[in-house]
Amino acid sequence: MRFMLRSLVLTSAALCATAAFAAEKAVVNVPFNFESHGQAFPAGRYDVTLDSHANVLTLRSATNTGQSMTWVVSPADCNPDSPALHMIFDDAGSTHELHTVQLGTRITSVLDAPAQHHGAGSSVAAGSGQ
């Protein structure tokens, strides 16, 4: 099987339907180190925000605010039961590669190389909206 999904609930929150759709900011605690585009991120708390036009998503370390990444986002499907923030990581041995980030109705393109998917499992992280 190419993808095996393991759910990892990192934070819990009671979200109303409108919060999932109108999310502009969310917080997530990632319990493992991960990478994106060759940049290493340590385990910890991260703030995820959309710009005022909902076109640019920023992932920023809450403890080291100088460590961040920014991506252009596009529309995504979202239902009332969806968490405000949904992050998918591909597991390749001891490395977790960030695959996509979805905040409300906005999502990044695929962030890791297609070669990372072959035989790799995946982890899912959900965060709370604010």
For 95-108, the pLDDT digits (tens) are 899 999 999 999 99
- Whether the full predicted model's pTM is greater than 0.75, yes or no, is no
The total domain count for the chain is: 1
Query: Tell me, what's the pLDDT at 130?
Result: 53
- The string of DSSP codes covering 56-111 is EEEEEESS-TT-EEEEEEEE----TTS-SEEEEEEEETTEEEEEEEEETTEEE---
% of residues, the chain, pLDDT over 90 = 52
Range of the domain at 21: 5-129
For 106-129, the pLDDT digits (tens) are 999 999 865 444 444 556 666 655
